[in-house]
Amino acid sequence: MRLVTNEFVPLKNVKIDDGFWSKYTEIAKEKIIPYQWQAINDLVPDTEPSHAIKNFRIAAGLEQGEFDGYVFQDSDVAKWLEAVAYRLTIDPDDELEKTADEVIDLLEKAQDEDGYLMTYFQIKEPDKKFTNLLDCHELYCAGHMTEAAVAYYEATGKDKLLNIMCRFIDLIDKKIGPGENQLHGYPGHPELELALVRLYRVTGEERYLRLCEYMVNARGTEPHFFDEELKKRNGINLWGGYQERVDKRYNQSHKPIREQAEAVGHSVRAGYLYTGVADLAAETGDESLKKAAETLWDNITKKQMYITGGIGSQVHGEAFSFDYHLPNDSVYNETCAAISMVFFAQRMLRMNPDSKYADTMERLIYNATICGMALDGRHFFYTNPLSMWEEATKKAGVCGHIRSKRPGWFGCACCPPNLARMITSLGNYVYSAGDDTIYTHLYIGGEAEVNMPFGTVRISQRGNYPWDGRITFSVGEGRYTLALRIPAWARSFEIKVNGLKEKPEIRNGYACITRDWKADDSVYLNLPMPIEFIEANPLAREDNGRVAIQRGPVVYCLESADNGDKLDALRITDFNCFTEFKDESLFPGAVYIRGKALRRRDWEGGELYRPVVSGDEEEVEITALPYAFWDNREDTREMTVWLRR
């Protein structure tokens, strides 16, 4: 029995019209997608050519040449197509669709007779297909292209790419499985798992679900597939070097998934894998898998997540390190990893509409994801520190992976298109419906059509979130429960229906109002947003003695541009002196926060150490801006989220 208790309202039924997100959608539409198109066609000046489209043209026999780019270069085209699909869903555009169709025609031409489609192997090592699932991202690329195929089909009704990918997946299904002549393998970089469940859901083809199930269940079992595979390759890896052992924690194959109690390894791999696991549990009704997903979710969110929602606390392996180890300056926090957690949250919500999932999703979308992008839509962070000292990023190896300014498009361009697809598909994360309940998980303005057993319910949402916690809904006719998430950050809330106060029951963090709704009934939700000073669990040592500023779902930070250098010389002693104010210089409607702090005085003598001189501090005014907006001005020598108190 499926474990799906509620289904998200699909993107095509949700129209976002929101002061905050419409601006981001605009950036994704007008900047990222066209820019990525230029990039994959090697048309961006002063940037390393991507070669992504060219690889397909070579594979299709339309051009001569060698493969170039990362082994997973094809996935850039996949992510572009997927983002285009969402973009066309929310805002049809004939010309863009024509371009996408041409790309799909090209993919069709590039596909081998037997369904195989990955230009690296087709062009460069045709005899090495399926010999290195560990390093070569073969199944990863298939996963991304399958996601694109599903999205494009859902967006346009056109099934050419879907058919292309079904043919490829059919080939993979032949190659991989429990049979004697099959590889008992699974992706070195998970992604295909969640894509297979999407493909199953749109095609209804049970084999795709079973293939996913096989891969998830085989992962981490003995004899270990990656050990065997490496042996077959005589230890030679993708880069031509000899490798003694496989780092199994890195790709989450160190033990079977049901025995994994801690999130480990490469954080993007982890996020995609866990999303696929949750998907599979939901569709197959496997309670033990659901339990595994829950355990990993709790581990991450209770022990390994930054206050922004970021995950992956170390550059070594771009990975989780261990429980409560959350360094703020040497962290990795890849933008893609945060995005993968949004997916994971949505899948958990489908099985269990508990607000803890949506709370984290909200934390992620307002902080750890969009911080990856400059407001010009042209510069991107791969890594997202919570504390940045420019000199250290340039001179200290420990922060060598951190950038003080977002670079332009980069060679391994995973994060920008991932942001594009998340932002353009955000409508798919707002509402869900199950039994007689319509859940509102996110407070994003716009309209939605919710299909209920008794018919379609229209809901509209209006407000000025995340700056203001007052939201107004207009709901459609029918007897159902409207479940409004009460965020964990809210210390109180107020609900009125048609102007009259309600005291609804709270179930799993949702205020549930059940009634015979009339057309255009209005619901008013007020989530007061005082300025909050947040402390971390004492086990999270890096934050001891520090506070972060949060207001509503928005985490704030201090930048040198407003507060001068030496941000760590500041400490907050009086929480009550802080006030909010509007500053629209970077973003319309944005709320900033200012207050007083003490700053350690510079030392005259220039000595490095001295006996404590108490009270050698001066009062200064400090200004905090939303973390997601940092580094949108010239002067970004320092930034910090956690302030000393």
Show which residues are catalytic. 318, 414
570/591 with CB nearer its own copies: 570
CB 338 within 8 A of CB 311: yes
CB 63 within 8 A of CB 57: yes
CA distance 257 to 294: 12
Bridge partners (DSSP) listed for residue 433: 7, 438
* Least Cβ distance, residue 543 to its own copies (angstroms): 9
Runs of H (alpha helix) within 256-366: 267-284, 287-303, 335-351, 355-363
137/303 with CB nearer its own copies: 303
* Least Cβ distance, residue 603 to its own copies (angstroms): 5
234/614 with CB nearer its own copies: 614
CB 69 within 8 A of CB 55: yes
Q: For residues 352, 353, 355 and 360, what is the CA-based torsion angle, rounded to 10 degrees?
A: 70
Cα 40–81–372 angle (5° rounding)? 70
* Least Cβ distance, residue 123 to its own copies (angstroms): 26
Token digits for 96?
A: 């863009």
203/330 with CB nearer its own copies: 330
CB 300 within 8 A of CB 361: no
* Least Cβ distance, residue 59 to its own copies (angstroms): 32
* Least Cβ distance, residue 361 to its own copies (angstroms): 16
521/568 with CB nearer its own copies: 568
In whole angstroms, what separates CA 388 from the centre of its chain?
22
Measured distance between the N- and C-terminal CA atoms of the chain, rounded to whole angstroms: 52
- What amino acid occupies position 409? W
* Least Cβ distance, residue 509 to its own copies (angstroms): 14
Tell me how far CA of residue 39 lies from CA of 27, 36, 544, in angstroms.
16, 5, 43
* Least Cβ distance, residue 396 to its own copies (angstroms): 4
Q: What are phi and psi of 97, to 5 degrees?
A: -65, -40
CB 471 within 8 A of CB 513: no
- What amino acid occupies position 79? K
CA distance 390 to 388: 6
Q: Would you list the DSSP string of 463-496?
A: E-TTT--EEEEEE-SEEEEEEEE--TT-S--EEE
* Least Cβ distance, residue 602 to its own copies (angstroms): 7
Tell me how far CA of residue 610 lies from CA of 375, 566, 599, 602, 617, in angstroms.
44, 19, 17, 13, 15
86/389 with CB nearer its own copies: 389
Nearest-CA neighbor of 263 among 317, 328, 214, 209? 317
With b for 16 or more beta-carbon neighbours within 10 A and e for fewer, the 60-98 pattern comes to beeeeeebbbbbbbbbbbbbbbbbbbbbbbbeeeeebbe
CA distance 339 to 369: 6
328/425 with CB nearer its own copies: 328
Binding site for its own copies (CB under 8 A): 301-303, 305, 307, 313-317, 321-322, 325, 327, 330, 389, 391-392, 395-398, 400, 491, 532-541, 544-545, 547-548, 566, 568-569, 571, 575, 600-603, 606-613, 644-645
- What amino acid occupies position 382? Y
Q: Are strands 478-485 and 437-440 parallel, antiparallel or unpaired?
A: parallel
* Least Cβ distance, residue 214 to its own copies (angstroms): 31
